[in-house]
Amino acid sequence: MKTIEQTPTWLPAVEANPQPSPYADLIRIAKEGGREHWQIWHLFAFRPEVTSPLASFTEGVMRSPAPISGGLRELIAAYTSWTNKCEFCWRSHAAVAAEMLGSEELVRGVLEDVETSSLPEPEKALMRFARKMTQELPEMREEDVEELRKAGWDDEAIYYTIMVVALFNFYNRWVTTSGVHPVSDEVHRMHGKRLASSGYEPKNRQMGIKASGNGA
């Protein structure tokens, strides 16, 4: 089957040299199926001994038991990425959030305008916090944390919010500056479904793709 052509990343030596790892397997499976793949896998595959702990850390931040649901954490990730204008990341995590929260309309509404969206007020407070942390970091004050407490969030919830926003500020910069491109809406949705069900550990995602018989 012919592999679909994707615009290369800005790091051709990285893209051309995946090391043996589940990430390299994900790329191979996708290409063998003639389908688009997430180019962030190339960044993980180039130095898996460095990036595998990052995947495990991401799994912990996004999926471990917490006062903030996994779906809401994905929405915070998408909103942070939208704020940073990282198209690959906001589209990817908007798809995961929509799958986990059960509403593309809700997710799109939050991205376009938090204040007019149907998100409950306490959750809007988290998005405002994420936006300020991303755009106005030197202006962050203890009062910003207190505002979240007034909205009903405890310190553990605030801790997870800070971790998600910090993590995706890293991802946004890593992805954008490496030239990782978004894929089609269809493939973002398909990956969103798999990420929602399988999480961030690459072996789990690889098994999900093999089980479906689809290289997307």
Residue 165 domain-assigned?
yes
Answer yes or no: is pLDDT of 212 > 50: no
| Residues comprising the chain, all counted | 216
Q: What is the pLDDT of residues 35-76, one digit of tens each?
A: 999 999 999 999 999 999 999 999 999 999 999 999 999 999
State both tokens at 69.
């649901």
Contacts of 13 (CB under 8 A, 6+ apart): none
Q: What is the pTM of this model?
A: 0.92
Residue 194: exposed, middle, or buried by beta-carbon count in 10 A (0-12, 13-18, 19+)? buried
Residue 75 domain-assigned?
yes
Contacts of 149 (CB under 8 A, 6+ apart): 155, 158
Q: What is the pLDDT of residues 67-122, one digit of tens each?
A: 999 999 999 999 999 999 999 999 999 999 999 999 999 999 999 999 999 999 99
Residue 22 domain-assigned?
no
Residue 102 domain-assigned?
yes
Helix 104-112 with 70-83: angle, nearest 10 deg: 40
Residue 153 domain-assigned?
yes
Residue 206 domain-assigned?
no
The whole-angstrom separation of Cα 48 and Cα 181 is 21
CB-based contact 215:191 (threshold 8 Å): no
DSSP category for residue 102: T
Q: Measured at the alpha carbon of residue 67, what is the angle toward residues 139 and 148, in degrees to the nearest 5?
A: 30
Residue 26 to residues 65, 163, 194, 205: CA-CA distances in angstroms?
27, 27, 13, 8
Parent domain of 170: 67-178
The domain total for the chain is 1
Coil/strand/helix, residue 149? helix
Q: What is the pLDDT of residues 124-147, one digit of tens each?
A: 999 999 999 999 999 999 999 999
Residue 128 domain-assigned?
yes
pLDDT score of 214: 41
CB-based contact 167:132 (threshold 8 Å): no
Helix (H), strand (E) at residue 16: none
Residue 82 domain-assigned?
yes
pLDDT score of 216: 33
What CATH number should be reported for the domain holding residue 114?
Answer: 1.20.1290.10
